[in-house]
């Protein structure tokens, strides 16, 4: 699974991209967030309270109940501020 | 429908873009929106980052939705990334159609949804300090009007 981070999420975690082999028990984005919370300080800072986070799976905005699979691209970021 | 989507660091020429927009179409109306970096007292620069490929795909989806709602002839969406000074152009949304109401409405729809859906993030530098810009509730409200 490819994970991408943008804006302050990227800064707190300290990287923009990583490849993760998630445990097979993870079925959806919420399950992935629960797993990421256990991965260290930067992750804990971001994912302790996922309320301000947005997620895209395979480059589409989606909810935290979206199912995910091992070859998906999952991106976490704050609400967008372009335009 | 003629579509041009481009994410770029360099500035754009609005006149040339509008000229190119209607080339080869029977447009009777062109409406465009240009967004600039607001000049505010202590703001020295703005840095924009985006999610490459998703940005283009998301804007394409928004244009698809606009073209289902209105008979649009051509659309151009340009958005700059990187470091931008106060006053600099950030975004251009331009729509060509047969009649003005379609051009006005589709243009407003596209900029409203670009603001709430296209994956861009602004970081401001004020008095030497960097801050990520927060999303505005008023932008969400502007986009949600179109769902009614």
CA B78 to chain centre: 6
The pLDDT tens digits of the residues spanning A68-81 come to: 999 999 999 999 99
List the structure tokens of A80: 């967008």
ipTM of the complex: 0.93
Q: Residue B1: helix, strand or coil by DSSP?
A: coil
Chain A residue numbers with beta carbons less than 8 Å from the beta carbon of B51 are: 4, 6, 56, 59, 75, 77
Domain boundaries, chain B: 2-147
Strand spans (E) along chain A: 2-5, 17-19, 54-57, 60-62, 73-77
Q: Of the candidates B51, B58, B120, which has its C-beta nearest A81's C-beta?
A: B120
Candidate CATH numbers 3.40.50.10490, 3.20.190.10, 3.40.640.10, 3.10.20.30; the one for domain A2-77: 3.10.20.30
Q: Among candidates B81, B72, B89, which has minimal Cα distance to B14?
A: B89
CB–CB of B135 and A8 under 8 A?
A: no
CB–CB of A80 and B111 under 8 A?
A: no
The pLDDT tens digits of the residues spanning B59-99 come to: 999 999 999 999 999 999 999 999 999 999 999 999 999 99
Cβ-Cβ contacts under 8 Å for B128 (sequence gap 6 or more): B44
Residue A83 sits at the chain B interface (C-beta within 8 Å): yes
Which residue positions in chain B have pLDDT lower than 50? none
CATH T-level topology, domain B2-147: Aldehyde Oxidoreductase; domain 3 (3.90.1170)
Residue A77 sits at the chain B interface (C-beta within 8 Å): yes
pTM of the entire predicted model: 0.95
Domain boundaries, chain A: 2-77
């Amino acid at each position: 699974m490819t994970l991408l981070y943008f804006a302050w999420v990227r800064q707190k975690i300290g990287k923009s991209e990583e490849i993760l082999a998630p445990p097979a028990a993870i079925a959806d984005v919420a399950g992935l967030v629960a797993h990421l919370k256990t991965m260290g300080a930067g992750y804990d800072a971001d994912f302790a309270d996922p309320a301000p986070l947005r997620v895209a799976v395979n480059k589409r905005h989606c909810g935290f109940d979206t199912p995910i699979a091992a070859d998906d691209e999952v991106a976490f970021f704050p609400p967008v501020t372009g335009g | 429908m003629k579509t041009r989507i481009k994410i770029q660091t360099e500035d754009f020429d609005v006149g040339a873009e509008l000229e190119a927009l209607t080339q080869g179409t029977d447009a009777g109306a062109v409406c465009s929106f240009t967004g600039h970096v607001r000049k505010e007292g202590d703001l020295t620069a703005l840095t924009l980052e985006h999610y490459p490929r998703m940005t283009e795909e998301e804007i394409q989806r928004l244009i698809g939705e606009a073209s289902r709602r209105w008979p649009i002839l051509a659309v151009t969406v340009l958005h700059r990334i990187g470091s931008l000074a106060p006053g600099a152009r950030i975004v251009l949304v331009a729509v060509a159609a047969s009649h003005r109401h379609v051009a006005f409405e589709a243009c407003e729809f596209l900029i409203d949804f670009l603001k709430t859906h296209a994956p861009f993030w602004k970081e401001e530098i004020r008095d030497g300090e960097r801050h990520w810009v927060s999303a505005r509730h008023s932008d969400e409200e502007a986009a949600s009007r179109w769902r009614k």
